[in-house]
Copies of this chain bind each other. A is one copy, B any other.
Amino acid sequence: MFEGLYSALEQSEVITLYRHINPDCDALGSQWGLATWLKHRFPLKRVIVLGHQKMTNGLFPDSDEIDDETVRQSLAIVLDTANVRRIDDERWQSARQIIHLDHHPQIEHFADLEYVIDHYAATCEILAEFFSTVDQEPLEADVAEYLYRGLLTDTLSFKTSNTTEHTLAMASYLAQSGLNIPQINRDLFDVPLKEYEFASAIRAEAQILDEHLMISVIDQAFLDRWSMTASQAKDQVYQFGGIREIEIWAVFAKDHDDQRNTWWAGSLRSKTLPVNDIAMNYRGGGHKNAAGCKCLDDASLNALIADLRRRLKENQA
């Protein structure tokens, strides 16, 4: 199935690689994994990694810079991005040929060649399979490590429902490259001490409603005390995820815009009950068991919490 991809790569002297905005480790891992693999095999090609936004954890190099004319001569590969408007560098559309390589459900067609496999856990999983069909030997360790990071983050360490036999087989293939698995896990999941202490404080704020709902409501004074943002507070929602009695959990934090208008923003999670339909009634949405909402005033926040309690009760009835 990857013959067309391989010959397109082989025939292109210049290849530009694109990722989505707010890049995660699957976006960056697939981009740097493919770039590094190409550089090992075709040292004379120009392989250019594009994207303005940086990921802050220091695990990937900075993007390259390139003039528009070179982009026009290039084969463009858009990685891990389903919507055109989320591609971080709009010059992809000027390229000579365009390939879309992704594991998100296809919502737009914008490429000459498409490798979209939406039952795979990660774009890195698709690339691992592609590389294994081309190469006889294990991958170079740097390529394998980039891809392994994408697998680990998009499956939360092989725990989510998108983890399949194939995901684990690809992880096994990557591990053949002599990866330092504990170190890769530490690089991705260890947190700075300040974030750890902030998480402990958010845990201490949590309240339990109706025995199965856990929420933490973080006001501006709390955020100021820790010099943290609403977004950083909401990221800690996973702290409430592994509790046997808790079916739905959420963090709400006070957020504001540049004009100092304030509102509540929230991250909602659940084990099995849907929460995205509730989030959609409060300017939000997301996946069935992982959704978000924003721009809530106090009354809306209380109404949303009441809806979550109703969802639990309906389920018990």
List chain B residues, Cβ under 8 A from A204. Answer: 200, 204
A43 at the interface (CB under 8 A from B): no
Identical subunits present = 2
The answer on a CB contact under 8 Å between A208 and B193 is yes
A157's closest neighbor in chain B, by CB? B157
Of the 9-residue stretches A26-34, A78-86, A88-96, A158-166, which lies at the interface with chain B? A158-166
The answer on a CB contact under 8 Å between B157 and A190 is no
A314 at the interface (CB under 8 A from B): no
The residue that A169 contacts in the complex, of B169, B185, B196, B200, with Cβ under 8 A, is B169
The answer on a CB contact under 8 Å between A196 and B243 is yes
CA distance A208 to B197 in the complex (A): 11
**Size category of the binding interface on chain A:** 35 or more
List chain B residues, Cβ under 8 A from A181. Answer: 158-161, 163
The answer on a CB contact under 8 Å between A175 and B185 is no
Known: A165-B176, A200-B200. 14 other contacts (CB 8 A): A157-B158, A159-B185, A163-B181, A165-B172, A167-B172, A169-B172, A172-B172, A186-B242, A186-B271, A189-B242, A190-B242, A193-B243, A193-B246, A196-B243
Q: List 16 A-B contacts (CB under 8 A).
A: A158-B181, A159-B182, A161-B182, A164-B175, A165-B172, A168-B175, A169-B169, A171-B171, A171-B172, A186-B242, A192-B243, A192-B244, A193-B208, A193-B243, A193-B244, A203-B203
